């Protein structure tokens, strides 16, 4: 594992993961072979999903709490 996290919003998780694994995204292509899906949140509203994404990306406290919740998953 690289210790890096990708946080993003999509309406097609399967295609998004495949795109990252193929190295098609400039911001993630150097780690493309290492991506592993460990957590997903699903929202009915795109606005709610974007609000959550922003909180995780721009408010360290949100990501800190998420990492605590995923402690065992991150150790594997």
In this structure, is residue 8 part of a structural domain?
no
Instruction: Supply the range of the domain harboring residue 70.
Output: 13-75
Model pTM? 0.75
pLDDT digits (tens, 9 = 90+) for 12-58: 999 988 888 888 888 777 776 777 888 999 999 999 999 999 999 89
Q: What is residue 4's predicted lDDT score, i.e. its pLDDT?
A: 75
Our count of domains for the chain comes to 1
Tokens of 72: 């065992």
Task: Report helix angle 46-58 to 60-69, nearest 10.
Answer: 100
- Is the residue at 37 inside a domain? yes
Please, which residues have CB within 8 angstroms of residue 70's CB and are 6 or more apart in sequence?
38, 39
CA 19 – CA 28 distance, rounded (Å): 10
Is residue 49 one of the residues assigned to a domain? yes
């Amino acid at each position: 594992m690289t210790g890096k996290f990708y946080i993003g919003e999509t309406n097609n998780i399967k295609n998004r993961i495949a795109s990252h694994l193929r190295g098609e995204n400039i911001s993630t292509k150097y780690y493309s072979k290492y991506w592993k899906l460990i957590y997903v949140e699903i929202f009915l509203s795109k606005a709610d999903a974007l609000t959550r994404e922003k909180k995780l990306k721009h408010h360290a406290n949100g990501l800190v709490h998420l990492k605590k919740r995923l402690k065992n998953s991150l150790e594997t």
